[in-house]
């Protein structure tokens, strides 16, 4: 049996899973699809690709299937697809990134209705990761405005997880002030003053915090923080669940314009559909994503502490409005970080 294959592309960091070739002789069919995804999903899809290929070959024994991955900041990845990266499927962490593709005719406008749960197979929440013992005694977002506390998270201009981080902070300020936007903006600005740098993606932010020892707290998705604290660096970090934080979606879609040209539309559809299967939902839970399957979520409930969350597009406006208000050039994020150069 051949091992998993790894492919490095010139412009993107990609990993690929290939089939073991059983049943695919010289008369077999070779198929390849590309999944363009966000930064911290790479560990999930590395395992998911192998899981899907084994299942797929049960009904397609003569097809040698190869799945290539590309990962980076969610919006940066969406722009790469717009600029020609031939994705068969996109698996992002923000609805607006796929809507952006739909507006350009790359994805069907009703993409969210083509899969269960509005095309969201699993979710996460925004949390804080601190060093063992929590030396700065960080308990909630208001602790991040202290001048002696440095926070690290991804650049909200290029990363969906970076946007969820900023919106969590702003949402907390809005709730704590009774809905006063001016107070919420001031609070958010106070936290941003304590961010020494903005990395392009969540994985880069995680590396800066855990390996380069930059900052006192990492603001990240629960799944990323859990993998770091429980698998990659056990005993070195702890997760702090804020009292009020943003829920993260992980929407998926087939890029029809590409898949149809490559004659891979059905495989792309099958690839995404299998995300709602029991094995895939179990894998999601194993890697600390919150499954959409209620039975699987209940089974793993101990791994996902209860915390009060809000959906940005239900609390702060539509994603289109949020992008214009918070993240467009000259909008709130730019105003609050004037003079601070993102990395």
**How confident is the model over 107-134, as a mean pLDDT?**
97
CA of 36: how far to CAs of 52, 101, 265, in Å? 16, 12, 15
Q: The tokens of 115 are what?
A: 């899969």
Instruction: Give the whole-number percent of the chain exceeding pLDDT 70.
Output: 91
Checking if the pLDDT of 322 tops 50, the result is: yes
**How confident is the model over 5-31, as a mean pLDDT?**
47
Q: Per residue in 24-33, is it b (16+ CB within 10 Å) or e — as a string?
A: beeebeebbb
Which residues have C-beta within 8 Å of that of residue 130, sequence separation ≥ 6?
136, 138, 216, 217, 218, 237, 238, 239, 240
**pLDDT digit string (tens) for 28-47?**
789 999 999 998 899 999 99
Checking if the pLDDT of 9 tops 80, the result is: no
d(CA 103, CA 257): 13
d(CA 90, CA 74): 10
Pick the closest to residue 95 from 122, 81, 74, 125 (CA basis): 74
d(CA 291, CA 31): 29
pLDDT of residue 201: 82
CATH of region 124-248+306-336: 3.40.190.10
Computed over every residue of the chain, the mean pLDDT equals: 90
pLDDT of residue 75: 85
The domain segmentation of the chain, as residue ranges, is: 16-121+250-276, 124-248+306-336
Sheet holding 16-18, edge to edge: 16-18, 63-72, 29-38, 89-91, 252-254
pLDDT class of 218 with cuts at 50, 70, 90: very high
Checking if the pLDDT of 3 tops 80, the result is: no
CATH topology of 16-121+250-276 equal to that of 124-248+306-336?
Answer: yes
pLDDT class of 27 with cuts at 50, 70, 90: low
CATH of region 16-121+250-276: 3.40.190.10
Q: Tell me how far the alpha carbon of residue 243 is from its chain's centroid.
A: 21
**pLDDT digit string (tens) for 268-298?**
999 999 999 999 999 999 999 999 999 999 9
Q: The tokens of 85 are what?
A: 């990266």
Checking if the pLDDT of 213 tops 50, the result is: yes
């Amino acid at each position: 049996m051949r091992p998993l294959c790894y492919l490095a592309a010139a412009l993107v960091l990609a990993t690929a899973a290939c089939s073991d070739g059983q049943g695919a002789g010289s008369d077999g069919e070779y198929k390849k699809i590309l999944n363009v995804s966000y930064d911290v999903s790479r560990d999930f899809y590395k395992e998911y690709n192998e899981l899907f290929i084994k299942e797929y070959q049960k009904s397609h024994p003569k097809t040698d299937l190869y799945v290539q991955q590309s990962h980076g900041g969610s919006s940066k990845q969406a722009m790469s697809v717009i600029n020609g990266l031939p994705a068969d499927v996109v698996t992002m962490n923000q609805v607006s990134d796929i809507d952006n593709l739909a507006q350009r005719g790359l994805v069907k406008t009703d993409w969210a209705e083509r899969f269960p749960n509005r095309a969201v197979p699993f979710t996460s929440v925004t949390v804080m990761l601190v060093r063992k013992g929590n030396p700065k005694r960080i308990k909630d977002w208001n602790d991040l405005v202290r001048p002696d506390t440095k926070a690290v998270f991804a650049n909200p201009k290029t990363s969906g997880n970076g946007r969820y981080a900023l919106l969590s902070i702003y949402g907390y300020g809005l709730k704590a002030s009774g809905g006063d936007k001016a107070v919420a903006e001031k609070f958010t600005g106070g936290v941003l003053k304590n961010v020494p740098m903005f990395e392009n993606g969540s994985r880069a932010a995680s590396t800066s915090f855990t390996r380069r020892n930059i900052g006192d707290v990492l603001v990240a998705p629960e799944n990323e923080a859990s993998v770091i604290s429980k698998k990659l660096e056990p005993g070195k970090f702890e997760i702090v669940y804020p009292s009020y934080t943003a829920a993260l979606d992980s929407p998926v879609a087939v890029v029809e314009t590409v898949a149809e040209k490559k004659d891979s539309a059905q495989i792309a559809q099958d690839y995404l559909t299998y995300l709602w299967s029991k094995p895939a939902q179990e894998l999601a839970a194993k890697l600390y994503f919150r499954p959409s399957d209620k039975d699987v979520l209940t089974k793993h409930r101990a791994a996902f502490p209860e915390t009060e969350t809000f959906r940005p597009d239900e609390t702060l406006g539509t994603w289109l409005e949020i992008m214009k208000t918070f993240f467009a050039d000259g909008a709130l994020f730019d105003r609050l970080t004037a003079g601070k150069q993102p990395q």
